[in-house]
Amino acid sequence: MTLDVTLIEGDGIGPEITAETVKVLEATGLRFSWDRRLAGMAAVDTVGTPLPDDTLESIRKTSLALKGPLTTPVGTGYRSVNVGLRKAFELYANLRPARSIVPGGRYQGVDIVLVRENLEGLYVGVENYVQVGSDPRAVAQSMAIVTRLGCERIVRYAFEYAVRHGRKTVTIVHKANILKMASGLFLEVARQVATEFDGRVASNDMIIDNTAMQLVMRPEQFDVMVTTNMFGDILSDEISGLVGGLGLAPGANIGPSAAIFEAVHGSAPDIAGKGVANPSAQMLAAAMLLDHVGEVERGNRVRAALEDVIVGQNIRTRDLGGTAGTREFGDAVARRVG
C-alpha cells in the first residue's frame, strides 16, 4: 500500500520539523507518495499568493495533507491560509488531543480530546461598525452564526469519536445561560444527540467559565469535550498548557472530503534554521493521520516511540528541558519506531 499525501512544509521552523516527521513516518514501514506543495509566505515569495490553486488541487486529489506551521502576511490584505483551507474543504471538525508525557510537570495523567466546531460561531467574521471614528458612542458589532446542522454534526462527531476510541464521557461546553440563542441552540442539539448514545457514552454539560476553572483544578475529570468555535480555540490552548505547551500539541482539521493534520503552534521565525525546534507536535499530528487512514497500530508506534525517547531515553529539545537538536530528536524517534 502506498499512501498519497499532500505535504506542505510551511514557514519558519516548518521545513525542519516536517522533515523529521517524514523520517519517522517512513520508518513505520508504510510507503508514502509525497506531493510537495507550497502555502504561506513560502508561496507568496514564489508564486505571489499564500494559497496557490495547485496546492488546493493536490489536497482535492489526495484527501490528506500534513501541514507545517504557516505565516500569514500581516497588513497586506491576505486572508489566513488556515481559514482558507477550512472553508475550501469544509473542515468542520478541529480535533485537539492533549496527553501528559513529560514527567515532573504540575499536571500528570491528563488525557483529554477537545473537539471544536471549526466553521461557525463568532469566527464567521460577520462584523460591522454602527458608528465609527472618535465618536464616544461608536459601536462595533460581531455576529455569532450557529446552525442546527453545524451543531449536530460536530456533536455527533465527538460522540462517534468517543465510541471508536473507547472513551467514556463527552462534556458539552456552552454559555447557554447568557447566550440563550446561539449557545442555547448548541446545547439543545447536543443534548438530543447525546440521547442516541445512551448506554455507550456518558455525557454532561458545563458552562464555559466553570470549565476553564475546572480544567486547572481537576483536569482528570475530563475525557472528550465538544464546544463551539471560539470557546474551543481558547480551551484547546489551555489544555495544551496542562501537558507542557504547544510543543506537544497536535491538531487535525477534518471534513467530509479531506483531512489536514498539523502542529498547532506557530512558525517561530526567531528559531528557524537553528536546528533547535521541537518536532513532537508535528509527529503526533502524523500519528493522527495514520489513525485517520486506519493505520492505528502504526500511529500507536509513533506515539510510543516519541514517549520512550522523551521519558525513557531522556532525549529532549530545549523547550522540554533538554539539549537535543531537532535532527537528533527526530533520529531517535525514527530508530525507536523502526
Phi and psi at 93, nearest 5°, equal -110, 120
247-258 residue pLDDT tens: 999 999 999 999
pLDDT of 123: 87
| 142-227-196 Cα angle (round to 5) | 130
Residue 3, beta-bridge partner list: 32
Q: Rounded to an integer, what distance in angstroms lies between the CA atom of residue 173 and that of residue 210? A: 9
pLDDT of 80: 81
pLDDT of 75: 57
| 104-110-116 Cα angle (round to 5) | 135
| pLDDT-flagged residues of the chain (< 70) | 73-78, 132-133
Domains of the chain (ranges; CATH) run: 1-93+246-338 (3.40.718.10), 111-242 (3.40.718.10)
pLDDT of 77: 60
Identify the helix (H) or strand (E) that includes residue 148: helix 148-164
58-81 residue pLDDT tens: 999 999 999 999 987 665 566 788
pLDDT of 213: 98
Residue 113, beta-bridge partner list: 97, 224
Nearest one of 200, 223, 7 to 111, comparing CA atoms: 223
- Which residues participate in catalysis according to the annotation? 123, 175, 209, 233, 237
Residue 265's Cα: distance from chain center in Å?
9
pLDDT of 124: 87
Nearest one of 249, 271, 269 to 318, comparing CA atoms: 271
Q: Rounded to an integer, what distance in angstroms lies between the CA atom of residue 176 and that of residue 190? A: 12
The string of DSSP letters for 156-186 reads HHHHHHHHHTT--EEEEEE-TTTSTTHHHHH
pTM exceeds 0.75 for this model: yes
- Count of beta carbons in the 10 Å neighbourhood of residue 253: 22
Q: How many CA atoms lie within 13 A of 222 on its CB side?
A: 31
The amino acid that residue 79 corresponds to is R
